[in-house]
Amino acid sequence: MKLPIRKILFWAFFAFVVLLAFVVAGNKDHSRLGEMSYPTFVAMVQNGRVDAATVDGQEIWGRLDNGTTFRTIGPQDQSHVLWMMTENGVVPEFEETSDPLELPQAFYKGLPVLLLVALLFFFYPVVKNMAGSSSVNFNDLNKANVRVYTKGDGLPSFADVGGAADAVEQLRKIAQLVQDPARVARLGGTVPRGVLLVGAPGTGKTLLARATAREAGVTLLEVSGGGVVELFVGVGAKRLRDLFARARAQAPCVVFIDEVDAIARRRTQYTGVLDERAQTLAQLLTELDSLGSDLNVAVLATTSRPDLLDPALIRPGRIDRVLHVDTPDEAGREAILATLVREVPVSEDVDLAALAARTPAFTGADLKNLLNEASISAALAGQQVVGMSDLLAALERPDMQPAVRRFQAPDLPLSPDGRPLGPPRMASS
């Protein structure tokens, strides 16, 4: 059976430590002997009190006639000491050994290094297993986390979008151009390189972008702006290169960048040369410029903060069109509700027009949340369908109000459409 190299090195290191411990233990510890001054030792020799003596360099130790042990340090020149002991009948023994403290001191000095090497060696597999268990693959850092929808499978259509008739009309034209770019190429035109969808959160920008790819019947490559930018400088740019390389390989297709303001913020004079966002934005601009007329690739992007975008991105030739997806009006809210109730069993007393009139400033996400809360209440009450009373009860909850109202001061008077009418009322004294 073949042992792994790690086990072999472990047992070798263990044997080395054990052997070193035996060597250190085998060295005689003369510090435990009785200390004696050199003049006293000379007097003891001259008086015949020394029975045995061992000489090791300048160190002399031995045994007196009463059985006690001694240790002393002689002069550097031991010739006189040896002559004196011979004249007084003491036969010296010689021990040519190294300094008993030399090996332990070398061991103590090298022990921290040995321990550090051992810890790094034996804990490396543990760290590697932890990295593997958390699915961290550093080789995939440069790859964009792209969600691919082939030929529009699993995507919503324009029929699933309500309350954004103007945006739907414009995006339907984009879908037709992606399907047949030769239609406009005959007149010297090209498919718009970039379309920016601007609107408040929850107005359906992502839904519209996905529906455009479904309408065109082409592959959709979807990526989040926050998923492109990374802590390490240069990773975001490499991810964008990977994204657009896939787009060129799968053309015709639609590239959808959600929350593009995460990677395309306005550059300032304080932006560093090695700033990750600056490099990522520069790569995005380069990729948009590289989409020639022969490449049938349309780029859709969304943002709720167009004021943060860099002017170099939203100029014609890169972002050719900017479509505003506004908060739906009453007719738009009714159309959205009609779309949402397809998946919610409602009773016959539900009046979508009346509900739309009672939900000013609601976005599509707010209306979907309203229906969901009404469905939860009806299910907990044991009902089989959602009634108008459930919807009105959910509407009366404070947390059901849209964000434009929810974060206003409680004493700020509002108009029916959610706009502030004036300054806050002062409390009476």
Average pLDDT of 362-370?
90
Tokens read off for 284: 């995005």
Residue of higher predicted confidence among 121 and 352: 352
Residue type, 2: K
User: What average pLDDT score do residues 402-421 get?
Assistant: 49
Query: Has this prediction a pTM greater than 0.75?
Result: no
Pick the closest to residue 322 from 219, 180, 428, 171 (CA basis): 171
pLDDT at 235 > cutoff 60? yes
What's the average model confidence in pLDDT over 54-65? Answer: 77
Strands (E), 142-292: 147-149, 194-199, 219-224, 253-258
pLDDT digits (tens, 9 = 90+) for 219-232: 899 998 877 776 55
Q: Are 333 and 367 in contact (CB under 8 A)?
A: yes
Query: Would you state the pLDDT for residue 110?
Result: 60
- Report the C-alpha dihedral over residues 402, 403, 406, 407, rounded to 10 degrees: -160
* C-alpha to C-alpha distance for 368 and 299, rounded to whole angstroms: 28
Q: Are 164 and 211 spatial neighbours (Cβ–Cβ below 8 Å)?
A: no
The pLDDT > 90 percentage for the chain reads 20
3-state helix/strand/coil string of 70-89: EEEECCCCCHHHHHHHHHCC
Domains of the chain: 28-94 (3.30.720.210), 147-226+248-260+286-325 (3.40.50.300), 330-406 (1.10.8.60)
The pLDDT tens digits for 72-124 are: 877 767 777 777 777 777 777 766 554 444 555 555 556 666 666 666 666 66
Q: Which pLDDT score is estimated for 425?
A: 42
According to the model, what pLDDT value does residue 5 have? 65
Strand order in the sheet with 92-94: 69-73, 59-64, 50-56, 92-94
Task: Give the model's pLDDT for residue 427.
Answer: 41
DSSP state of 342: T
Residues in Cβ contact with 221 at an 8 Å cutoff, skipping those fewer than 6 apart: 146, 147, 148, 243, 246, 247, 250, 253, 254, 255, 256
Does residue 61 surpass a pLDDT of 80?
Answer: no
Q: What's the N-to-C CA distance of the chain in angstroms?
A: 91
Question: How big is the chain, counted in residues?
Answer: 429
Q: Which residue has the tokens 């792209």?
A: 146
**Which residue carries 């959600």 as its tokens?**
258
